[in-house]
Structure 1
Amino acid sequence: MLAGKYILLIIGGGVAAFKSLDLIRRLRERGATVTPVLTGAAQQFVTPLSASALAAQKVYLDLFDLTDEAEMGHIELSRVADLVVVAPATADLMGKMANGLADDLASTLLLATDKRVLVAPAMNVRMWQHPATQRNVAALRGDGILFVGPDDGHMACGEFGPGRMAEPLAIVAAVESALTDGPLKGRRIIVTSGPTHEPIDPVRYIANRSSGAQGTALARALSALGADVVFITGPADVAPPEGVQVEKVQTAAQMMAAVQAALPADAAVFAAAVADWHVANGSGSKIKKDGRGAIPALRLTENADILATVSQMTQGRPALVVGFAAETDDVIAHATAKRVRKGCDWIVANDVSPETGIMGGTENAVTVISADGAETWPRMAKDQVANRLAAKIAQALT
C-alpha cells in the first residue's frame, strides 16, 4: 500500500520515541521510504544510529549543517516527502507548529513543508488536557493537520489517561489513509457512534441499546475513501477503527463538547444513539434500598440535541449533515418529520423493533431520506451499508 511513498518522520523528544523505531520498521515493511529527523531532545531517548540503521537512510539532526544544506537543503527536505509524520509529537513541538515558530530543524521543516502533516501526540495526561495544549490542537486541526491518538493508558510517569502515543500499527493505518487518493481526500468528516451513558449514581446509568457497529463501519468506509475522520464514540461494544482520530466520551454533554471541538468539518454523520435525558438529581454515592420499598425519584432533564444544534448552525455548518433515526413504528413518517424538525440534510432511518434483530446485530436495513424523497435499501451487512453510504456522501461532497 505504501510502495514508492516517501515519509519524512520527525521524532520528538519523549519516552514514546522508542515506538518510532518500530514505526520505521512497520512503514518499511509496507514499501515506504522513511527519512528520520531527530530533535535534540529525541536524541536523549533514541540514537541517530538506531534510527538510521532501521530506516537505511541518513538521519537529519541539525539545521546548520552546511554539508547537508549543500546536498539537500531543509526546504527541499520538507517538500520531497509524500507525507510528514511527527511521532511522538510533544506539547512543545505542537506549540511551535501552532504558532509558526522555527528554531530547530524539525520545526523549520514543519513550517516550510507544503505537504500534509500527520501528528501522533504523546505527553503527560495533564499536559494534554491543559488549556494551552488544547488551544494549540484546535489551531492545528483548523490548519488541516491530521491527528492519530493520543490513546488512554498508563504512562511512564505513573499516571493514567489520554496522552499515550498511538501504537505503531495505528499510525501506519493513519499514514495509509492520509495517502489514499480517494474521492474524499482532503475532506474532514465527523462521525459519532455508540451509546451515551447518563449516570444515576456511580454504578447505574441510563443508556440506549447500541453496539456502535454501524458507526464504526461507516468511519472505516469514509477513511478508506481518503477522508480525515474524527470518530467520536460513546462506550460501544466494538473497537474503534484504526487510522482515524478517536475521541472517547461517556455522556451526551461530553459528546456535544467533542463535536463542537472537532468543527469545522465538511460533513458530520450522527450515528450515535444519544440518550434523550440525563438525571438532574444523580447521586455521587450508590443509592441504597431502604428495605421499606421506597423508590427513589429520578428527575430527568433533556440533553442538548447534537444533531439539531449542528444542523441549525448559522456559521461554519458542515456542507452535509446526516442524522440517524432508530424507530419501532411508522419508520418513514417519523424519520421524515425528524429530518424537517432537526434541519439536517439526510436521515438514515431503520426499524429496530426486537423482531428485526438489527439493534446489536450484524445486518441493517435502512432508508435514506432527503429533501428529494426516500430511498430504501435492501437488508445487508452493516459493512455494506457503510460502504454504500460513504459512496453517497462522497458523491454529495464532490
Structure 2
Amino acid sequence: MKGPGTHLAGEAAGFQLPPLALYVHIPWCVRKCPYCDFNSHAAGSELPEEAYIDALLADLEQDLSHVHGRELTSIFFGGGTPSLFSANAIGRLLDGVEQRVPFARDIEITLEANPGTFEQAKFAAYRQLGINRLSIGVQSFQEAKLKALGRIHDGDEAVRAADMARKAGFDNFNLDLMHGLPDQSLEDALEDLQTAIAQGPTHLSWYQLTMEPNTVFWNQPPELPEDDILWDIQEAGQALLAEQGYAQYEVSAYARDGLRARHNLNYWTFGDFLGIGAGAHAKLSSPEGRIIRSWKTRLPKDYLDPAKRFQAGERHLDQDELPFEFLMNVLRLTDGVPAALFTQRTGMPLADLAAARTEAEARGLLLKDPERLVATHEGQLFLNDLLQHFLP
C-alpha cells in the first residue's frame, strides 16, 4: 500500500533528483519596516554572531541526509539584513558549509544588504570570501517614499551603496525596487526606475508594494495609488526596462546580459533547497521521488536554545498536490519551462495535466505548445485564475 505523499521508484520512472541550493536566514535588521512580513527582528546592541553560526552549522548537520550526494549550485543569505554580520562570521559559516556539502565550481553566492549597512572594507571582505552577488534593498530613492516605508537610508546612501558594491568587486548585483508606494505618481515611479538603471545593476527586482497580514501597514494601511495609476506604472516601467536592456524573465525579475538569479530560478523550476536559520523553509526530494516541505523554529531565541529542536515541522506532498505545487512556481517564468520537466521533477506522467491544460488553453491563459508549459500574457496577469485549473 502506498502512503500519502510517496512515490515508489517504479511509478516515478521519469523522476530525477533536482539541483540543490541552500538558503541561510539571518533574522536581524536595524529596524522592522512597516510593510515587512518576513521573519525579521530588530537587532539589539550586540548580535549573537558566534552562537548563531554554531547553530546554523548544527542545523545543517541534521539536514545532511537530504543531500544525496549532490553539490550546492547556489547559496542565498536572506533576512533580516545579513550584511549586519561580520565578514569573519559569514566566512566561518561558508567554510563550515563547504566542509559538509561540496560547492559547484560555478556556485552563485548571494548576500542581501541594505544601504544603511554598507561599509567599503566589509563588502570587499565579503567578495574575498567568494560571495559573488549582492542584492541591495533600495525600495526607492525618494526621501518621502523612503520615510513612508520606514527605511533607514536616504536616496544618496542608496546610490553610494551601488557604487561601493562595484568598487568592492561585485560585477553582478541586484537592486530591489518597489512601486505602487504611498502617494506615488507615474512620474515618481519612473524617476525611481531611471535612477536605479543609472546605477548599472545587472539585475532588477521591481515589484508592487502589497499589504501583508501581521504588518503595521495591514493594520494601518497608507493611501496607495488608484488601480489606473498602478496599471500605467506597470506598463510604462516594463517598457522602460526593456528599452534599457533588462529582459523580464519572471513576474518581477529583470536581467541584463542573461544574468538571471540562479538561486531564484532554482525555486521557480521546482528545484530542491535546504533551509537553515530561524524560520527558514526547505523543499527536498528523495531519490524515490518523495517530496517534503519543512520549516525551522521561527523565533531567534528559540532557535538558539539548545533544549529546542531546529525543525518546527514538515509536510509530505501528496501526489495530487504536485501539479499545482509545480506549476505555481514554473508559470511565474515568462518563457515557462520544457513540458518534460514536469515528469522529471514530480515523477508524474505529463498526461495527468492534459484535461486541465486543455481548459486553461481554451481560456487563453496557457499557451498551446505541446513542448512547453508557459502562461500567455493574460495568464501571467491573472496567474491565480490560471492556477485554479490545476488545484487538487
TM-score calculated relative to the size of structure 1 = 0.26
TM-score calculated relative to the size of structure 2 = 0.27
- Higher CA-based Rg: 1
